[in-house]
Amino acid sequence: MKMDAGIDMNDLTDEERRLLDKIRLRKEQLIEDIKSLQREIHGISEEMDTMDVDEESRENTREKKLLAGKRQFNLNPTKGIAYLIDQELLEPDCEEVAKFLYSDGLNKTAIGDYLGEKEDFNLDVLNAFVNLQELQDMLIVSALRQFLWSFRLPGEAQKIDRMMEKFAERYCDLNPGIFTTTDTCYVLAFSIIMLNTSLHNPSVKNKPDIEQFVSMNRGINDGGDLPRELLESIYDSIKKEPFKIPEDDGNDLNNTFFNPDKEGWLWKQGGRYRSWKRRWFILSGKCLYYFEYTADKEPRGIIPLESLSVRECAEEQSRAHCFELFGLHTDCIKACKTDKKSGKVMEGRHNVYKMSAASAAEMEDWIKCIK
């Protein structure tokens, strides 16, 4: 009896044969252990891939709910806040809600309406909102400019009254000694708003001069007069530069894309460097818009879909579930993007736009919607 290595088994002692059998058995066990480990590693890899997809899906769902909540807020602030709290995207805490009101993508008029409500919780939010304003070491005109840019004043006098009262309290707390009482700051703030309207509203024919403004504010400092130099500097500042009142003119992203055909996260391949970046895509009105973040007001890029088609394509660089946009009659796709550094609008340089979805189902849905 011969072994593969040319050793005659008959030359081996019984002890050597038993030892050889043990070695063979151990070898078979090791091979089986290796195969088992390989199967386990493969299973873990598949599980991790599934976890990545699940995590991305959860993130997509959260971002969609957050965007839906912001849109609901812009339509009905109270319902929007209730929705976000119900979806556990916002804590039912006045300070947390106040922080949320400084988020991008919120309608400034809706913010003003919400802050102006007389419900106890709204009043607490107003107080917390104003307390987030950093007004120390600021002239009152500069502080008022900053404050009035964070929301749009509502039309009701009672709501404005509550807001200006909170502003005066905050300003005086951070700048002690400038005014005798918070009432002085409150009255002067109202006076400044009236001055801004009188000087810059075309319907006001008789514009007040500095003497009228000084006369209007006599005795408001706890019975005394404010320094004339202060009033002159306020007058000159408002005359040279009116308040910038936030305009909600319908061009805001959240108004433009109220009912998109589809939205969600996709990985997009770059045109020049071929790197993949995660972007928030919105399909609306025969155009595909992509953003760096869901709450961005301006898209990073716009892809008009006229004369374009879409198809599934091969995986690239470990990116699965890929599809691409391509021109039907041209090799170069007409699109534009915003340069991140300069902010200038640039022409996109793509023969095709390649995207990767989180799952096969998501990819198929995007293709169906684009078609």
Q: How far apart are CA 152 and CA 155, in angstroms?
A: 9
Q: How far, rounded to the nearest angstrom, does the alpha carbon of residue 90 sit from its chain's CA centroid?
A: 15
- The values of phi and psi at residue 175, to 5°, are -130, 65
Q: 100: buried, middle or exposed (CB in 10 Å: 19+, 13-18, 0-12)?
A: buried
Q: Which amino acid is at 40?
A: E
SS3 category, 300: coil
Nearest to 355 by CA among 329, 328, 331, 319: 319
Residue 43 CA: distances (Å) to CA of 37, 49, 113: 10, 10, 54
- What residues have CB less than 8 Å from 351, skipping those under 6 apart? 326, 327, 331, 332, 333
Q: Which two tokens stand for residue 117?
A: 């409500």
Report the side by side order of strands in the sheet with 262-269: 308-312, 322-327, 352-356, 262-269, 276-284, 287-291, 301-304, 336-338, 345-347
Q: 36: buried, middle or exposed (CB in 10 Å: 19+, 13-18, 0-12)?
A: exposed
- The values of phi and psi at residue 311, to 5°, are -155, 155
Active site residues: 156
Q: Are 107 and 70 in contact (CB under 8 A)?
A: no
C-beta neighbour count of 71 within 10 angstroms: 20
- The values of phi and psi at residue 281, to 5°, are -105, 140
